[in-house]
Structure 1
Amino acid sequence: MLKTMDKTIYLVTDDAQMDFDTLYKKTELALQGGVTLLQLREKKSSSRTFYQHALKMKDLCKKYDVPLIINDRLDIAQAIDADGVHLGQSDLPLTIARTILGPEKIIGISARTIEDAILAENNGADYLGVGAVFPTSTKNDATVISEKVFHDIQANVSIPIVAIGGITLDNASTIIRRKVNGIAVVSAILGQEDPKKAATHLKTLFITM
């Protein structure tokens, strides 16, 4: 079932780093390398452009049998029939999003506190994006959470946890040792000369640790 999807290597795109054609090519290489889940995040694009890009990424993900999650934009997720949506604490409430999308779609929620995490689980979130676990340049408002808070969240919820924020090829093993269900990365894959090799490296870390 889709809800039991592999969240191991969760690639998040960033339209501030490169043009879409370059992003598309790098994303395909990353999918070839072992990315298991893709989130399309576009903060600069118009709604029409986001929609067009999402359609192309949906076809690409289908080619590699990888679910596509849309960041923030419930309307875009609906319009292209994406596999799900990822929402932050300031986005549309989870309960409303679930009513609109239905029970079969994936809804992930960003959580920085135990309270955020417990509320998300109680309201029906399918997974949590917990962080930032390290300082990150791809999200200006990201606050680094302590290792204690991270472990407290793990101890208080039963839904899958994906660590996010500042994860690189060099520090990924530190986070994987926390027994997370996945790591969400941007530059660790898309910022590399060989995205396929980078994705394979991260996937191997999960298998060997």
Structure 2
Amino acid sequence: MLSGLYLITDNNLDGKLLTKVEAALKGGTKTVQYRAKDIRPDKRREMAEKLKALCHRHKALFIINDLPELAHEIDADGVHLGQEDMSIASARQIISHKKLIGVSTHSVDEALKAEAHGADYIAIGSIFPTDSKQDITLVGIDTLKKVRKAVRIPVVAIGGITPARAFEALSAGADAVAILSGIMADADPARAAKEYSLLFNRNNPAPNGNVLTIAGSDCSGGAGIQADIKTITLLGSYASSVLTALTAQNTLGVNDTYMVHTDFVMKQLEAVLDDIGADTVKTGMLSWGGIVSRVAKVIEERSLLAVVDPVMVAKGGESLLDKEAHDSLISRLLPQSYLLTPNLPEVEVMTGIEPRTIGEMIEAGRTLQELGARNVLIKGGHLHGDATDILLLGEEEYQLNNQRFDTINTHGTGCTLSSAIATFLAQGYPLKQAVERGKRFVSLAIEKSTPNGRGHGPVNHIQAAMQLLHEQVSVQD
């Protein structure tokens, strides 16, 4: 059955089509539709053969747009037809009955007609406004819902689909979402494809999603890798971990630290990724420059979606990274971060800007994006007055307000937030929703915290998870 991320190629104007498609396949693309009407027949066939080989290497379907003869010649997996192209019956005479035929539709009637005439799947759109075509028919999300109820074959939603809109389309019943510029025009098509691909985890049974945390140990259990594993597990995903350091600490502070050798860190990382894999990765305390650089390289090579918590400054103000680690974090890890989650002291260390206002937080966030971070969440808990976080999603910006609680039990809030966001991403939530749910979880964990120890106690993970689940069930009912 056709489902998952459906990539439509561009016109290969920059000569990088194969590179982009391969990256998108590494990111989780399940179907590639090759558009090549305006290319010379010999060049078109040559490219189609190469693309088919790529797709089959990654166990993805390869569909030819509009040209059943070419699909037959290279033994593609199928052909996709527009309303003005040849009939399904004519196309079926050219390609094998075992091959797929998809049809573009714009209404319930066209979808029903395509199904009745033998289509194996239909595309419906444009669901949302799009800049890629000026003469589109805008059908909207309600039509998608009606089509889903009317036909039994797979439905592909197409047109103006961002990750947030893809989530909406999948909620309306789409089996797949078709993306063109959202991946092909992205500077990092593998990571863009991964962002869309994770959305299809949304209805998986628990544990839903594999989340890998790479961080230091907190023997007192409030922060670090212990807080991460609690968060990931209680929120319903599968947690794996790579230890970078051992700490002797409690609610009163850190007494000592033992660094794990870089080679052993990498052996842990490779052991997990080569077997279980990871939908998302959360990084915390990485100790020193060698670990930072090598972890960044793995994230880059495997196109992992990483939530990077740049653990650089302790609550008391002392630095947790030496100069080599600081430089490696900015030059190597920051450009590999899907979401960077610094607090204000960490922002100052990385940018030289000491934000005191919302405007200065936004300015600092844009600087971090210029340094390579794809998206940035700046935590404003150190500001006086209202606690406002700034979320920069590409060019978009959002102010997220927090309730302050009169408690000293806030140990592990940064670790908990970043691992919660990584968990919700792995479960199929788009980034803004993942951040909002993560923030809600942390707020509940702080609100429901109870004294445990003689200093800054931990937050209450289990009560927060139970409350969040109750709220989710209430909304569904």
1:95 matched to 2:79: no
1:206 matched to 2:203: no
Runs of 4+ in 1 over 3 A off after TM superposition: none
Could you tell me whether the CA contact under 8 Å between 1:10 and 1:183 is conserved in 2? yes
Aligned to 1:130: 124
Aligned to 2:7: 11
C-alpha RMSD of the superposition: 1.5
If asked which structure has higher relative contact order (CA below 8 Å, sep 6+), I would say: 1
Query: 1:144-203 CA distances to partner (integer Å, 9 max, x unpaired)?
Result: 103332222111111110100111234222222212101000111111111111111111
Structure 2: runs of 5+ lacking an equivalent: 202-426, 429-477
Query: What TM-score, normalized by structure 1, do the two folds share?
Result: 0.91
- Alpha-carbon separation, structure 1, partners of 2:18 and 2:53: 11
1:117 matched to 2:78: no
1:105 matched to 2:99: yes
Where does 1:169-188 land on structure 2 (aligned, <5 Å)?
Answer: 169-188=163-182
Comparing 147-156 and 32-41, the one that deviates more: 147-156
SS in 1 for 2:129: coil
- Alpha-carbon separation, structure 1, partners of 2:33 and 2:122: 14
Aligned with residue 190 of structure 1, among 158, 164, 184: 184
CA displacement at 1:84 relative to structure 2? 0.3
Question: Aligned residues: percent identity?
Answer: 38
1:139 matched to 2:133: yes
Letter of the 1:189 counterpart = I
- Alpha-carbon separation, structure 2, partners of 1:108 and 1:94: 9
Query: 1:65-106 CA distances to partner (integer Å, 9 max, x unpaired)?
Result: 211000001111111111100000000100111122131000
- Alpha-carbon separation, structure 1, partners of 2:131 and 2:9: 13
Aligned with residue 29 of structure 1, among 23, 46, 58: 23
Comparing 134-143 and 57-66, the one that deviates more: 134-143
- Alpha-carbon separation, structure 2, partners of 1:100 and 1:75: 6
Aligned to 2:144: 150
Structure 1: runs of 5+ lacking an equivalent: none
- Alpha-carbon separation, structure 1, partners of 2:105 and 2:193: 25
Aligned with residue 46 of structure 2, among 47, 52, 55: 52
Letter of the 2:149 counterpart = A
- Alpha-carbon separation, structure 1, partners of 2:165 and 2:141: 14
- Alpha-carbon separation, structure 2, partners of 1:115 and 1:63: 37
Query: 1:6-63 CA distances to partner (integer Å, 9 max, x unpaired)?
Result: x210000010x633x3111011011011000100012321222211110111111121
Could you tell me whether the CA contact under 8 Å between 1:14 and 1:138 is conserved in 2? no
Whose Rg is larger? 2
- Alpha-carbon separation, structure 1, partners of 2:91 and 2:133: 23
Comparing 139-148 and 117-126, the one that deviates more: 139-148
1:62 matched to 2:70: no
- Seen in structure 2, the aligned counterparts of structure 1 residues 179 and 148 have a Cα distance that, compared at 3 Å, is closer
Could you tell me whether the CA contact under 8 Å between 1:169 and 1:198 is conserved in 2? no
Query: 1:109-157 CA distances to partner (integer Å, 9 max, x unpaired)?
Result: 1010111111110111110111011122333432110333222211111
CA displacement at 1:205 relative to structure 2? 1.5
Could you tell me whether the CA contact under 8 Å between 1:168 and 1:187 is conserved in 2? no
Letter of the 1:70 counterpart = I
Could you tell me whether the CA contact under 8 Å between 1:162 and 1:182 is conserved in 2? yes
Could you tell me whether the CA contact under 8 Å between 1:128 and 1:160 is conserved in 2? yes
Could you tell me whether the CA contact under 8 Å between 1:10 and 1:39 is conserved in 2? yes
- Alpha-carbon separation, structure 2, partners of 1:74 and 1:137: 28
